[in-house]
Structure 1
Amino acid sequence: MILALTVLLGTIGLAVYLYRKFADALYYASKLDGPKGYPLIGNALLFVNKSPPEFFFTVRDLVQQSGKCFRLWLGPELLIVVTDAKVAEGILSSPKYIEKSSEYDFIRPWLGEGLLTGTNKKWFAFRKIITPSFHFKILEEFVDIFDQQSSIFINQLKPKAVSGETFDVFPMVTLCALDVICESAMGTKVNAQIRSDSEYVKAVKEITYIIHVRTYDVMARYNFMFNISSYRRRQDKALKVLHGYTNSVIQSRRATVAQQKINTTDEQENDVGVRKKVAFLDMLLQATIDGRPLTDLEIREEVDTFMFEGHDTTTSAISFLLYRLAKHPEVQQKVYDEIVSVIGSDRKRPVSLAQLNELRYLELVIKETLRLYPSVPFFGRKMLEHSEIEGITFPAGANIILMPFFMGRDPEYFDDPLDFRPERFAVESSAEKANPYRYIPFSAGPRNCIGQKFAMAEIKSLISKVLRYYTVLPPEKEHTGEESFICEMILRPTFGIPIRLSERK
Structure 2
Amino acid sequence: MRAMAISFAVVLVVLATFIVHWFLRLRKLRQLVDKIHGPRYIPVLGSILYMKTDPAGKVIYPRSFIWHCCFLSISSHVPRLAVHPSCRSNRWRRSVQASSPLDGSGTVDQVFFDSCSAWLTSMPSMFSEAAQWRPRRKLLTPTFHYDILKDFVEVFNQQSRVLLSKIDQLVKEGNEKINTYQHVTLCALDIICETAMGRHVNAQKNSESAYVRAVYTLNGIIHRRQKNPLLRSDFVHRLFSDGKEERREEVQRLGGWTKVLNRELSSYDFDMCSQKRRLAFLDLLLQMAEQGNLTDQDVREEVDTFMFEGHDTTSTAMNWFLHLVGCSPEIQAKIHDELDSIFGDDDRDATFEDLKAMTYLECCIKEVLRLFPSVPIFARRIDESFEISEHFTIPRGSEVLICPYIVHRDPKHWPDPECFDPDRFLPRNSHGRHPFAYLPFSAGARNCIGQRFAMIEEKVILSWILRFFRVTSLPRRDQVMPKAEMILRPSETVLMKFERRQPLSI
TM-score of the alignment, normalized to the shorter chain, above 0.5: yes
CA contact (8 A) 2:473 2:494 kept: no
Distance 1:194 1:346 in 2: 26
Distance 1:331 1:44 in 2: 39
CA-to-partner distance for each residue in 1:107-146, whole Å, 9 max, x for gaps?
Answer: 4611414212222221011101110111111102211111
RMSD: 3.2
Provide the identity percentage.
33
Deviation of the 1:438 alpha carbon: 0.8
Secondary structure of 1:172's aligned partner: helix
Structure 2 residue 26 is the aligned partner of structure 1 residue 28: no
Name the counterpart of 2:282: 281
Secondary structure of 1:435's aligned partner: coil
Distance 1:489 1:15 in 2: 37
CA contact (8 A) 2:108 2:126 kept: no
Distance 2:157 2:426 in 1: 27
Structure 2 residue 338 is the aligned partner of structure 1 residue 338: yes
Superposed, 1:149-188 pairs within 5 Å as 149-162=159-172, 163-188=174-199
CA contact (8 A) 1:169 1:496 kept: no
Secondary structure of 2:497's aligned partner: strand
Call closer, same or farther: CA 1:92–1:171 in 2, change over 3 Å.
Answer: farther
Secondary structure of 1:299's aligned partner: helix
Distance 2:203 2:54 in 1: 29
Amino acid of the structure 1 residue aligned with 2:205? I
Deviating more after overlay: 349-358 vs 74-83: 74-83
Structure 2 residue 130 is the aligned partner of structure 1 residue 120: yes
Deviation of the 1:484 alpha carbon: 2.1
Amino acid of the structure 1 residue aligned with 2:380? R
Distance 2:236 2:14 in 1: 20
Superposed, 1:249-328 pairs within 5 Å as 249-258=260-269, 261=270, 265-269=271-275, 275-288=276-289, 292-328=292-328
Distance 1:45 1:422 in 2: 33
Name the counterpart of 2:94: none
Superposed, 1:316-395 pairs within 5 Å as 316-347=316-347, 349-384=348-383, 386-391=385-390, 392-395=392-395
Amino acid of the structure 1 residue aligned with 2:159? Q
CA contact (8 A) 2:39 2:47 kept: no
CA contact (8 A) 1:44 1:74 kept: no
Superposed, 1:75-90 pairs within 5 Å as 78-83=79-84, 85-87=86-88, 90=99
Deviating more after overlay: 130-139 vs 167-176: 167-176
Q: Which residue of 143, 152, 158 corresponds with 1:148?
A: 158
Name the counterpart of 2:497: 500
Distance 2:468 2:297 in 1: 43
Deviation of the 1:210 alpha carbon: 2.0
CA-to-partner distance for each residue in 1:336-366, whole Å, 9 max, x for gaps?
Answer: 221222234222x222222112211111111
- Unmatched runs of 5 consecutive residues or more in structure 1: 1-8, 270-274
Deviation of the 1:455 alpha carbon: 0.4
Deviation of the 1:188 alpha carbon: 1.4
Call closer, same or farther: CA 1:357–1:219 in 2, change over 3 Å.
Answer: farther
Secondary structure of 1:417's aligned partner: coil
Distance 1:428 1:495 in 2: 36
Secondary structure of 1:104's aligned partner: coil
Name which structure has the greater RCO, CA cutoff 8 Å, separation 6+.
1
Call closer, same or farther: CA 1:318–1:13 in 2, change over 3 Å.
Answer: farther
Distance 2:278 2:14 in 1: 63
Distance 1:266 1:320 in 2: 41
Distance 1:172 1:127 in 2: 32
Distance 2:163 2:412 in 1: 40
Distance 1:159 1:14 in 2: 69
Secondary structure of 1:81's aligned partner: strand
Distance 1:282 1:216 in 2: 39
Call closer, same or farther: CA 1:117–1:452 in 2, change over 3 Å.
Answer: same
Distance 2:411 2:55 in 1: 26
Secondary structure of 1:400's aligned partner: strand
Structure 2 residue 236 is the aligned partner of structure 1 residue 221: no
Q: Which residue of 220, 225, 229 corresponds with 1:209?
A: 220
Q: Which residue of 256, 267, 271 corresponds with 1:245?
A: 256
Name the counterpart of 1:6: none
Q: Which residue of 141, 146, 153 corresponds with 1:131?
A: 141
Amino acid of the structure 2 residue aligned with 1:458? E
CA contact (8 A) 2:105 2:446 kept: no
Distance 1:302 1:367 in 2: 26
